[in-house]
Amino acid sequence: MSKEGHGRIFLAGDAAHVHSVNGGQGLNTGAADAFGLSWRIAALVNGDRLTPDAADKITYSYDAERRNTAQDVINVAARLVRDTMHTAKQYVGTIEKNAGYITGKPHKSPPPLQRLSPARGGISR
């Protein structure tokens, strides 16, 4: 949100976070901002059944979640751009450490798609 998170304007994408291109995270982060925002705006506009506090919770949770994410993205891009002054190995090391944001594959893999139990004759992973 604008005004350091207390304002009335939703910001997303490059309007919300500016950083160097390293890591190629800008587009994904903007798309993810939109993904986090779209259901919130729908809920706020439809407004049915919301509690009196819900609008603030819905709005400012967007700031809490996406601002913190954006800060991490900016930090990774900054680390990478500084690594361009060092070895390729260091650069790649930083990419690997931040794989969760850059490649979409988290450093700790998420739980695998649960396989069907063999008794059901189903697909095994």
Partner 1 sequence: MGVAYDGMPSALLTESEKGIWKAGRRCPDLYLCVPRSNEAKRLYASVSYGRFLVFSVGAPQDASLRRFKDVTTLFRLFHNSQVPAEQDGEGATYGSDVAIPGEKFVVVVRPDMYIGCVGTEADAESYLSTIFRG
Q: Which residues contact 10 (CB under 8 A, 6 or more apart)?
A: 1, 2, 37, 41, 59, 62
Residue nearer to partner 1 on the CB measure, 87 or 109: 109
Least Å from the CB of residue 90 to partner 1: 21
DSSP 32: H
**Is the Cβ of residue 88 or residue 113 nearer to partner 1 in the bound state?**
113
Smallest separation, CB 19 to partner 1 (Å): 16
Residues of this chain that bind partner 1 (CB under 8 A): 32, 35-36, 39, 42-43, 49-51, 53-54, 56-58, 60-61, 64-65, 68-69, 99-101, 104-107, 110-111, 113-117, 119-123
In angstroms, the CA 49 to CA 115 distance is: 38
Q: How far is the CB of 65 from partner 1 (least distance, A)?
A: 4
Give every CB contact of residue 95 below 8 A, 6+ residues apart in sequence.
Answer: 23, 80, 102, 103
